[in-house]
Amino acid sequence: MSLKGKTIIITGAGRPNGIGAGIARCFAKEGARIVVTDLDGSPFDETVASIDGDVTPMIGDAANQASMSALATEARDRFGHIDVLVNNAGIGGPVLEFDEAEEQIPLLAMSDEAWDKQLESNLRTTFSSSAAVTPLLEDGGSIVNIASIAALGPATGLPAYGAAKAGVVHLTKTLAIQLAPRKIRVNCVCPGLLWTRAWEMLAARMKQRQPEFANMTERQIFEVIVAQSTPLGGEQTPEDIGNLAVFYASDNARMITGQVVAVDGGISVK
């Protein structure tokens, strides 16, 4: 994939079982130098141990331009160049319950603070990191944004999360045009159903509130949802997301920019 010797910054990559770490492993297989970043450095040792390659952990706030500018400057000074930015930082959305008595989803039941937290963590992270790193990004480089299939249609029960991720899709297309004169390509991946910490928490909530799941483990609940929802019949993995991110960043995608692809086993086309 022509990535040997390239320097890749991946935000939100601190957790070893998360999407960011899976993306890092895919880039490492192609010989890239990886900078994994996160707000909290406590899981870094396990994450670094899971990546077979040249990896450097750095603590930084993806939603803060000053923090990311300092991080990117340190990475550039240490390694000589930055070639790819992967905007992966984000959090899962609070699921709003269906109100059977009112026969509606309480769309407006979310507080201003909860709404703002979703947009800060899932949209501003992409904007702020891009604004901070792009001035240091090599001409001809690449930005890969990680959104969600929640961005591609009505996200029932996830109004703020879906809106934030839809904003990532829009920002991807805008940046693709703005950065084209520098030959910097900007593309987006929309993951589907992955066994992450956010899904484990959601499954625990379903176990408590839905009688049909009461005797299942969280993992079993997830597998039932995957079987019901995915035409290809299987869950997605962090490496599935990483493989597309690697392609986007490589010379094989040299004429691809502003594109949004769902890695979801067909969920978004049902």
Estimate to the nearest angstrom the gap between the alpha carbon of 176 and the chain centroid: 18
Question: What size, in residues, is the chain?
Answer: 270
Cα–Cα nearest to 122, from 71, 173, 88: 88
How many angstroms separate the CA atoms of 115 and 111, rounded? Answer: 6
Catalytic site residue 248? no
Could you give the residue ranges of the DSSP H alpha helices within 155-270?
Answer: 159-179, 197-209, 218-229, 238-249
Active-site annotation holder among 27, 44, 161, 199: 161
Look up residue 49 and give its two tokens. 């141990």
Contact call for residues 35 and 60 (beta carbons, < 8 A):
no
Contact call for residues 110 and 174 (beta carbons, < 8 A):
no
Look up residue 24 and give its two tokens. 């890092």
Start-to-end CA span in the chain (Å): 32
Catalytic residues: 161
